[in-house]
Amino acid sequence: MPYLITIDNTGEMFRCKEDMHVLEAMERAMCRGIPVGCRNGGCGACKVRITVGDYVTRKMNRAVVNATEELQGYALACSVRASRGRQRRAPGRADAGDGAQVSSQPNRRRSRWH
Ligand code: FES
């Protein structure tokens, strides 16, 4: 099921399949709201804070996302996928830190793009 991803900082929205990382989906949609670097979890350029939605991540490099940040919802867009169900849940809105803020929700077939 595709998800609708919103980059809160820029207002950009794009669809992301469940088996696709958020950064890859953003690039395919020709959006630019999340900085792109190495694309493999090493540089931290794509660090985002996920404010809404369930997600799963690959193991993240602690040099770029430490354990505290991970608990606060920070993740690497090149390593995170939107998901449904018993996964990590974004911890809700709080003060903005560094990096883009991202939210995701299931993209219902009848929903329209705003
Ligand atoms: S692009 Fe380098 S960590 Fe994601």
- Span 1-55, pLDDT tens digits: 789 999 988 999 999 998 999 999 999 999 999 999 999 999 999 999 998 888 9
Ligand 1 centre to CA of 60 (Å) is 10
- Which ligand 1 atom is at minimum distance from the Cα of 41? 3
Regarding the beta carbon of 31 and ligand 1, being less than 6 Å apart is answered no
pLDDT at residue 96 tops 50: no
Ligand 1 centre to CA of 75 (Å) is 10
Domain containing 77 — which CATH number? 3.10.20.30
- Under the banding of pLDDT at 50, 70 and 90, the label for residue 80 is very high
Q: For 50-79, how does the pLDDT look when each residue is reduced to its tens digit (9 = 90+)?
A: 988 889 999 899 999 999 999 999 999 999
Residue in 21, 40, 74 to alter for ligand 1 test, most ligand atoms within 8 A of Cβ: 40
Range of the domain at 36: 3-113
Domain count, the chain: 1
Closest CA to 34 of 17, 48, 20, 44: 48
E strands in 1-114: 3-7, 12-16, 47-52, 54-57, 74-76, 80-83, 88-89, 100-106
